[in-house]
């Protein structure tokens, strides 16, 4: 049982989107999750999205829940109450250099930015077809072909296959100070080493003057690893990547089995 002083401290809650709030099978937010998020805000918690998606790909369905803010692009874009707080923009010449290296290594690239995302295709069969279909089904029409010496990104994704020179590209990324996040099945997210979901949390909690022990994070996949390791109160969805289970404080139920609501209740964050 938490004492009164502990309960009065402001809490910051951070939620991934895909696989954590949004069911990747139905592409909907469970009603129990919606009600739990609203209850958490009513109780005084500060509630944030913390996603790998750029802000330009945060859906209207998510925005309708009135989050206090958004940590996007794995910590490269942060907004509070609709106003930009932090942005880590990769300079265009660096973006171009990375795109050209991807071409040389037989890798397709999806540059994520706000307001526009840029794709360089042609090396991998069906590389980003599924991802682009999902985004377009959500109403996003801001994905355009890469324009040399103009297109830029805050982070990017790659698609590769057995013909790609992935090892050479990974060595190049390390030299350029980018982090490779393996999402498996020929797909990876690439983020500047200066940014992560963990660094985003520190920016937000400094803004709100909240201790790390009063933060709670909820995720399901490998791009959530930095925040799951960073915050003591870490929750993995029951449908999450199994290798993350030893890292977290709590494994909750699956997204379609009221996992978010159950975890918030177990922590005493909602009634």
* Beta strands 46-50 and 12-15, pairing class: parallel
The pLDDT, as a whole number, for residue 4 is 47
User: Which whole number is the average pLDDT over 62-90?
Assistant: 97
* Residue ranges of the chain assigned to CATH 3.30.1240.10: 92-192
pTM for the model: 0.93
Ranges for all domains in the chain classified under CATH 3.40.50.1000: 4-87+195-266
Residue 3 above 80 pLDDT?
no
As a whole number, mean pLDDT of residues 202-220 equals: 98
Written as one string, the DSSP assignment of 122-187 is SSSTTTTHHHHHHHHHTT---EEE--TTT---SEEEEE--TTS-HHHHHHHHHHTTEEEEE-SSSE
The per-residue pLDDT for 1 is: 44
What is the per-residue pLDDT across 122-162, written as a single tens digit (0 to 9) for each? 999 988 998 999 999 999 999 999 999 999 999 999 999 99
Phi, psi of 59 (to 5 degrees): -75, 160
Cβ-contact 157, 107 below 8 angstroms: no
Does residue 219 have a cis peptide bond before it, meaning omega lies within 30 degrees of 0? no
On the question of pLDDT at 7 being above 70, the answer is: no
Contacts of 202 (CB under 8 A, 6+ apart): none
What's the CATH fold of domain 4-87+195-266?
Rossmann fold (3.40.50)
Fold entry, domain 92-192:
3.30.1240
């Amino acid at each position: 049982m938490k004492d009164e002083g502990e309960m009065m401290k402001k809490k910051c809650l951070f939620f991934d989107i895909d696989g954590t709030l949004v069911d990747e099978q139905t592409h909907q937010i469970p009603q129990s999750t919606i009600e739990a998020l609203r209850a958490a805000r009513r109780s005084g918690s500060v509630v944030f999205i913390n996603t790998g998606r750029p802000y330009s790909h945060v859906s209207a369905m998510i925005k309708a829940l009135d989050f206090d803010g958004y940590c996007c692009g794995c910590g490269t874009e942060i907004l509070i109450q609709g106003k930009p707080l932090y942005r880590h923009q990769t300079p265009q010449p660096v973006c171009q250099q990375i795109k050209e290296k991807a071409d040389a290594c037989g890798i397709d690239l999806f540059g994520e930015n706000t307001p526009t995302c840029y794709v360089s295709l042609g090396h991998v069969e069906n590389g980003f077809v599924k991802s682009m279909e999902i985004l377009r089904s959500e109403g996003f029409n801001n994905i355009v072909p890469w324009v040399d010496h103009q297109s830029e990104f805050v982070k990017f994704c790659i698609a590769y296959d057995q013909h790609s020179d992935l090892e050479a590209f990974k060595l190049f990324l390390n030299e350029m100070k980018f982090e490779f996040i393996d999402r498996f099945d020929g797909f990876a997210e690439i983020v500047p080493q200066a940014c992560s979901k963990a660094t985003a949390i520190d920016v937000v909690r400094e803004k709100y003057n909240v201790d790390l022990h009063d933060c709670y994070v909820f995720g399901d996949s490998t791009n959530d690893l930095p925040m799951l390791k960073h915050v003591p109160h870490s929750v993995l969805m029951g449908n999450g990547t199994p290798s993350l289970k030893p890292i977290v404080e709590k494994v909750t139920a699956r997204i379609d089995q009221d996992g978010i609501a159950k975890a918030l209740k177990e922590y005493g964050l909602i009634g």
